[in-house]
Structure 1
Amino acid sequence: MNSNKVIYIMGVSGCGKSTIGQMLAKRFKIPFFDGDDFHPQSNIDKMSSGLPLNDADRLGWLQTLNELAKTELQKSSCVIVCSALKESYRTLLSKGVEDQTAWVHLVGSYNQIVERLNKRENHFMDSSLLQSQFDTLENPSNALEINIGLTPEEIVDKITKDIKMKSEFGLFGLGVMGKSLSRNLAQKGFNISVFNREVKGTEEDVAIHFKNSHKELDSAQAFSDIQGFVNSLQTPRRIMLMVNAGKITDYVIEDLIPFLSEGDILIDGGNSNYIKTKERYDYLKSKNIHFIGVGVSGGEQGALKGPSIMPGGNKEIYNLVKPYLESIAAKDDNNLPCCTYIGEEGSGHFVKMVHNGIEYVEMQLLAEVFTILKTMGKTPDEVADILESWKPKADSYLLGITVDILRKKDGNDWLINKIVDKAGNKGTGNWTTIAAAQLGAPSTLIASALFARYTSFYKDERLQASINLNINPSILNLEIEDVCNAYQFARIINHYQGLKLISEAGKSYGWHLNLSEIARIWTNGCIIKSDFMVELIPVLKEDDNILKNKLIINRVKALKPSINKVVSECVLKELTAPCLSESVNFLNAYATANSSANIIQAQRDYFGAHTYQRTDDNSGKFHHTNWN
């Protein structure tokens, strides 16, 4: 059954129906209609001449309002103001939508109302007709009765409290991100329902406690039972899943399905694997339930204040959730939402996955820069000052937080010196590396950053190896400017590789991706936002390959001597810098006209008869040689 509701505000003329109806509609953010606007001209003329309407006059008018209610209920809830003085009138008004109708009766004395009515201008109801309305009035038995002696605000508050409207959006899962997104939606004025599971003795009343802890959630509905949560939502239901990626997402979907209706929309806002998103999309499509995979970046504060949002799925269905996602997203420099339709199926989660891969590299590069500067004899405070000075030419969110991290003290020492050098990961870097291998895209920096984390985890073995192999980095002979230039060089290569991977996925999966738009929504709200990302928006409008852009080519050329110096010095002084090293290695390979791959192809033909093409044969023919 459609869960939308029509609220009829009834009562004699002058009781304030229109004022209350408009305020209530604004409160609930639903359409408002004044029944007086739907009278035929013949009724208006009759009342203007001082004659009361009879039941025959009202019949067509009441039927028109009933049809209006039915039409609106197909789309949303609504408020309709109508005197509805007789029970027979109310029966006509609610015909066919009885279960979706709520009545509010505004009650006042004759003297109260006649005083109000005489103050109104340009209204066709003369106060002399008021007594006839009081005589006609049949008090309803099924209405919320409110005295008009209260202020309009008090009346609307009372109605809001008594009539539980269906929420327009649901959040399933109140972890860190789920809580922040819920508050963000509520702050934007949306009526929401929130759900969190309940585990007796450990997790009890999570949703209720969360609702009660934040003023903006006063009108939100909180649930720990799935059926109540689903039934609290307008149809088509829009439910955003904020649960851990993997099997839990599938379990949640199965738990929800029995209570969903055809046309409902599930939105996966977790870090799900894009392949699983495609599978879930197809599975739910078979049940006539829509599925949208949405990448959300920005962490706890970003989710609260405005994240970068990457939705993928059917575009028409996305348009049904677009107002919610765009409202809570961060804004770019032009005040446009950092949320855009990415493409079909699992493309939103794919783009978010690559975002995280780029993030891995940006983090690793800053870690390498810190290690280089530390080996040059700089304290964490001095490194922070150096990074701060780089902001005019290389600013980013990650650079900014690294400055803050390096300045943090713990007692008489810097906190960074007390943190164990074992880096964790949640799998997205792994997925990105696998996807790059499957698509044949050379995302070598992402792989290097991922394996640097894996290597860091072997702490005990590293300690032993440093003794056994006598690896002991010595002071580096470098200029600070060269380190900055090397950092900028590697970042260009990182962004090239990440965007190239997205481009290759678009071609392989038939997704229609707009890399310039993707760069735009990465300019705020997300972890990899930076000044360079802003620069890439116009560059990507010209070509998906940023290394074809003349300005970037010239910048790479200018920075190349510095990356050569830095990487060479690190190798000579036995300091590991995997991503800085790989950035220049990649560019050297990428820009090599004649590579060593001919040897590999000859080897493949030797042991596996895989054939090869010849430089002196332009036909494209493949050759095989008996190498023995």
Structure 2
Amino acid sequence: MVSGSIPSTAVMSRLDSQDVHDVQVGIIGSGSMGAGMTLLFAEHGATVGCYDTDKEAVKTLLRQSEEDKVVDESKVYGFTSLAGLIHAFPRQGQNQPRILVLSLPHGSPADGILDELKDLLDKGDVILDCGNEWWADTQKRQAKCERLGIHWIGSGVSGGYQAARHGPSMSPGGSEEAYAIVEPYLKQWAAKTPSGEPCVAYIGPGGSGHYVKMVHNGIEHAHLSILCEVRALLHGVLDLDNDTIAKMFEEWNEDGPLRGNFLVGIGFKGLRFKEGDGIKNEQGIVEEIEDKVTQDADRSEGTGTWSAREAMNRHVACPAIAAAHTLRIISADKFERLAVVHNLSTPQPQKKPVKDGKLDPELAKAFHQATYGAILGAFVQGLELITRTSTDEEWGVSLATCMKIWRAGCIIQSDAICDLLLPILEKFGPSQPLNLLESCPEIASELAKTYASLKKIVALGVETDAVIPAMSATLEWLKSVGGKNLPTNFQEMELDYFGHHNYDIVGKTEKGHHKGRYHTEFKST
């Protein structure tokens, strides 16, 4: 056991050693995710070499391998040069491809590493990109690697840094040949369901793996927004204390339609923390945390932005995802927002305390059902985005496979919802169904049961000026997709008036998204 900041002799002996030739897996990037995966792989018996240009970060990781009780530190080596890492794999002629795992920020860092690696690797070697990456960039790198005779797999890794250490959900995409090389390792490393099934599967060709992870994160953003909006209503409007809300979330997490929901689970645990880094508050540390989310605005996190953009580009209605993203953007700059608050002077959320600090059972039930409906709705929206893109790109992604790998080790794990969706989705082939509410009446029926509760909770938010964008967007989405007659006939009339866009006539509409055949000359040109 080693502690403190002074590197031990053992640590230094495992740093940039030229005598190591048995590395099985290389990790590029020793941040929280890369460090977690290094320790995870070593725990499962792999000899791992971790590379980073930051020597102190590599030393820290080597110390962590000594301090971790379930890791054999002799299986963890650190390198500050890529050539040193590659040299540490078995010599050529062993007929075993090198496996290199990237854990880097999205964008140019991966391109830079590839440029450095291309002259160091041999044909048949595999690069497994486990960062959050834009799917089209993944496909460009795959094409470049194919010309070099090496493999590039784009794999989503979910669950955050804690899952990276203990077993994440993984969504690899690329060639089936490349996947076959890494599959035995991935099945060891991935999170396991209670029955022992690994939460990893081949998603499809090209950038499909990174795309599925992107949408996973879009759904995650919606869920995060829904839960913070619900908590704001319960605490900021109805004046329930955080311990009471924590108990409510815990009960939801134990039984009912939100059973086994990861975010509900960490929500009730987090609300009970009274002390944290720089914070101490008997009402809960959440009271001292600033109401700003910066990961999108500072460009350190791209998946929420990409998900919202893809929904627009692919013409898939994902309003909860878009509303959640918008809220994060608005929240990011607190000083700018306060200046706008001053200029607008609109009403702030009003208190409407419940009697004796307890919810009426019917209202409590409505909150439960409304939260469930919004979270299920975000799943439906995200899954439809996956099938639309899979169809467009000819990836053949299975929604059932997506649900299977989301059963553990990921942020959107929701056991009861998975139990609902998985048997329904297993009936469909690749890239199907494009419209879940059309093709899956069971899902539509389940959402319909939550409509009245959603309406009641959104009405409470409107009455009290609470901020509930994802919840209200979900209600409006249900009203719209379930609307036999929408107000858009007036919009179509005006479009034809000024733009000659044509229209269909009631009773003579053709199936699909085709432009109408009729035009009225409202004003002579």
Relative to the length of structure 1, the TM-score reads 0.70
Answering whether residue 335 of structure 2 is matched by residue 460 of structure 1, we say yes
Shift of 1:363: 0.8
Shift of 1:607: 2.5
Alignment of 1:80-99 (within 5 A): none
Contact 1:205–1:224, Cα closer than 8 Å, also in 2 = no
Change (3 A) 1:562 1:305: same
Change (3 A) 1:495 1:255: same
Q: Distance in 2 between matches of 1:398 and 1:363?
A: 7
Contact 1:343–1:513, Cα closer than 8 Å, also in 2 = yes
Contact 2:46–2:75, Cα closer than 8 Å, also in 1 = no
Q: Distance in 1 between matches of 2:21 and 2:337?
A: 61
Compute the RMSD of aligned alpha carbons. 2.3
Alignment of 1:300-315 (within 5 A): 300-315=161-176
Which residue of the partner structure matches residue 513 of structure 1?
Answer: 397
Which residue of the partner structure matches residue 10 of structure 2?
Answer: none
Q: Distance in 2 between matches of 1:389 and 1:210?
A: 36
Contact 2:503–2:519, Cα closer than 8 Å, also in 1 = yes
Shift of 1:191: 2.3
Which residue of the partner structure matches residue 463 of structure 2?
Answer: 572
Q: Please state whether the residue corresponding to 1:311 is helix, strand or coil.
A: strand
Which residue of the partner structure matches residue 311 of structure 2?
Answer: 436
Gapped regions of structure 2 (runs ≥ 5):
1-16, 91-95, 275-279, 296-300, 355-359
Q: Distance in 1 between matches of 2:347 and 2:337?
A: 10
Shift of 1:549: 3.5
Q: Distance in 2 between matches of 1:575 and 1:162?
A: 61
Query: Which range moves more in the overlay, 459-468 or 438-447?
Result: 459-468
Q: Distance in 1 between matches of 2:74 and 2:58?
A: 20
Shift of 1:165: 4.2
**Cα-to-partner distance string for 1:428-487 (whole Å, 9 max, x where unaligned):** 100110111111111111110000111112423443554552413223477222111111
Relative to the length of structure 2, the TM-score reads 0.84
1:449 to 294, 319, 324: 324
Change (3 A) 1:482 1:206: closer
Shift of 1:614: 2.9
Shift of 1:340: 0.3
Which residue of the partner structure matches residue 8 of structure 2?
Answer: none
Contact 1:196–1:207, Cα closer than 8 Å, also in 2 = no
Which residue of the partner structure matches residue 625 of structure 1?
Answer: 520
Q: Distance in 1 between matches of 2:238 and 2:219?
A: 27
Q: Distance in 2 between matches of 1:460 and 1:523?
A: 40
Answering whether residue 354 of structure 2 is matched by residue 474 of structure 1, we say no
Contact 2:58–2:78, Cα closer than 8 Å, also in 1 = no
**Cα-to-partner distance string for 1:251-281 (whole Å, 9 max, x where unaligned):** 1111111111122111101011111111111
Which residue of the partner structure matches residue 421 of structure 2?
Answer: 536
Alignment of 1:468-507 (within 5 A): 468-476=344-352, 479-507=363-391
Shift of 1:558: 2.4
Answering whether residue 383 of structure 2 is matched by residue 527 of structure 1, we say no
Answering whether residue 137 of structure 2 is matched by residue 276 of structure 1, we say yes
Alignment of 1:318-357 (within 5 A): 318-357=179-218
**Which residue identity lines up with residue 576 of structure 1 in the other structure?**
V
Which residue of the partner structure matches residue 382 of structure 1?
Answer: 244
**Cα-to-partner distance string for 1:469-507 (whole Å, 9 max, x where unaligned):** 241322347722211111111112111101111111111
Q: Distance in 1 between matches of 2:59 and 2:80?
A: 7
Q: Please state whether the residue corresponding to 1:340 is helix, strand or coil.
A: coil
Change (3 A) 1:197 1:284: same
Radius of gyration: which is bigger? 1
Shift of 1:566: 1.1
Q: Distance in 1 between matches of 2:218 and 2:20?
A: 44
Name which structure has the greater RCO, CA cutoff 8 Å, separation 6+: 2
Gapped regions of structure 1 (runs ≥ 5):
1-160
Contact 1:332–1:520, Cα closer than 8 Å, also in 2 = no
Which residue of the partner structure matches residue 226 of structure 2?
Answer: 365
Q: Please state whether the residue corresponding to 2:294 is helix, strand or coil.
A: coil
Which residue of the partner structure matches residue 272 of structure 2?
Answer: 407
2:84 to 228, 237, 247: 228
Change (3 A) 1:500 1:300: same
Q: Distance in 2 between matches of 1:353 and 1:502?
A: 10
Q: Distance in 2 between matches of 1:616 and 1:551?
A: 29
Shift of 1:226: 1.1
Shift of 1:379: 0.7
**Which residue identity lines up with residue 243 of structure 2 in the other structure?**
D
Contact 1:207–1:223, Cα closer than 8 Å, also in 2 = no
